[in-house]
Amino acid sequence: MTEDLLRIDGLHVGFRTGDRTRHVVRGVDLRIRPGEVLGLVGESGSGKSITALAVMRLLPPGAAITSGRVTFRGRNLIEASNHEINLLRGGEIGMIFQDPLTALNPALPIGRQLGDAIRAHQTISWRTAKSRAEELLALVGIPFPAERLRAYPHELSGGMRQRVMIALAVSSNPSLLIADEPTTALDVTVQAQVMELIDRVRREFGIAVLFISHNLELVAEIADRVTVMYAGRVVESAGVEALFETPNHPYTRQLIRCVPRLDGGRGAMPTIPGLPPRVELLPPGCPFAPRCEIAEARCTMEEPPMRWRGEQMAACFLAAS
């Protein structure tokens, strides 16, 4: 088995309010092998974005890693110096976010921003950086790249801006790309184009991708393995086929059933009753138990164990093993 590119062990992230710390990520383990696409799925508040931000040490003010390890190519990122982290961000680890308009500088043309990013990690002349920027724009499928170098972010459509973000992210030949809901703000036809681009870029450059999304169908299309989070914990982790064909955690099963399908016929929509728990009011035992269709008495009292079925892990008393 190849060595893991990124490994997260027992990660806890908490927000401090007054003298209390509320944990939004509570013991997350995940690993990504080189060249692999890991889908990280969860609803809002599940802790999936905070997990990704913790990897890059970009947590919002008030949030801090309280325990756990984040290892990238054998290096512990939690203990790395700020200088080391800065080299990694936009270097070996590229990032794309949901909203490219806030991630790009509105006051600078995109050619300048690409050039800056390239020169931050390589000592090359402006002229070389500029021609490299042009190549990158062509690579991500932007028509007339030479002219577009002078365009400002607001002059581009949402899909084009996300292409620029991808060009920025791959400009330094990263080995890991963190994509946090990269297509959520886009229309389906543009979403399809961007998904195809992400898939192509990772194939051509052998980049591993941490693909974070709430859209199960999208994750199923691109991921090799999938990790499902609920209320700050990993509830299931498996290869993409196993996860979607034989989900072993009731939450995964119920969530897959909720996804509206075009060939699903007519009638009422399947739902999961109730609401996700709030971090400050977590129920004892399994956090999903109050909404679970097969919960038993012990589920509301004890934390469920991790059950393995081959490579498939589910944190549930009732999971098959």
Partner 1 sequence: MTARTATAPDDSMISEAPPLLLLRDLRKTYRLRRGLWDRLRGRTRNVNAVDGVTLSIQQGLIHGLVGESGCGKSTLARMMVGLTPPTGGEVLWGGTTLPALSRQGWREFRAGVQMVFQDTHSSLNPRKRIRTILSEALAAHGVTRLARDERIARLLDQVGIDGQLLGRYPHELSGGQRQRIGIARALAMEPSLLVADEPVSSLDVSLQGQIINLLRELNASLGLTIVLISHDLAVVARVCDRVAVMYGGQIVESGAPEKVLAAPSHPYTKALLDAVPRGLRRRARTVLPIETTVTEGGCRFRQRCVQAVAVCSDRTPALRTVGQGHLVACHLREPVGVECLKSP
Interface ranges with partner 1 (CB under 8 A): 43-44, 141, 143, 157-159, 187-193, 195-196, 214-222, 240-241, 244-245, 254-255, 258-262, 264-272, 275-276
Q: How far is the CB of 259 from partner 1 (least distance, A)?
A: 6
Q: How far is the CB of 57 from partner 1 (least distance, A)?
A: 27
Q: How far is the CB of 261 from partner 1 (least distance, A)?
A: 6
Q: CA distances (Å), 208 to each of 115, 201, 235, 243, in order?
A: 24, 10, 22, 20
Cα–Cα–Cα angle for 117, 168, 227, nearest 5°?
125
Considering the complex, state which of residue 56 and residue 190 has its C-beta at the smaller distance from partner 1.
Answer: 190
Alpha-carbon distance of 33 to 6, in angstroms, equals 7
Considering the complex, state which of residue 9 and residue 224 has its C-beta at the smaller distance from partner 1.
Answer: 224
Q: How far is the CB of 221 from partner 1 (least distance, A)?
A: 5
The residues, ordered by sequence, that sit 6+ positions from 41 with a Cβ below 8 Å of its Cβ are 48, 213, 214, 216, 219, 226, 227, 228, 229, 255
Q: How far is the CB of 127 from partner 1 (least distance, A)?
A: 29
Q: Return the SS3 of 158.
A: helix
Q: How far is the CB of 123 from partner 1 (least distance, A)?
A: 35
Strand partners, 30: 8
Considering the complex, state which of residue 84 and residue 241 has its C-beta at the smaller distance from partner 1.
Answer: 241
Q: How far is the CB of 270 from partner 1 (least distance, A)?
A: 6
Alpha-carbon distance of 87 to 94, in angstroms, equals 11
Alpha-carbon distance of 33 to 311, in angstroms, equals 14
Considering the complex, state which of residue 59 and residue 190 has its C-beta at the smaller distance from partner 1.
Answer: 190
Residues in the chain: 321
Give the HSE-up count for residue 87: Cα atoms under 13 Å, Cβ half-sphere.
Answer: 7
Q: How far is the CB of 287 from partner 1 (least distance, A)?
A: 14
Radius of gyration of the chain from Cα atoms? 21
Considering the complex, state which of residue 1 and residue 188 has its C-beta at the smaller distance from partner 1.
Answer: 188
Considering the complex, state which of residue 107 and residue 268 has its C-beta at the smaller distance from partner 1.
Answer: 268
Alpha-carbon distance of 210 to 301, in angstroms, equals 33
Considering the complex, state which of residue 85 and residue 195 has its C-beta at the smaller distance from partner 1.
Answer: 195
The residues, ordered by sequence, that sit 6+ positions from 147 with a Cβ below 8 Å of its Cβ are none
Considering the complex, state which of residue 21 and residue 193 has its C-beta at the smaller distance from partner 1.
Answer: 193
Supply the DSSP symbol for 216: H
Q: Return the SS3 of 267.
A: coil
The residues, ordered by sequence, that sit 6+ positions from 79 with a Cβ below 8 Å of its Cβ are none
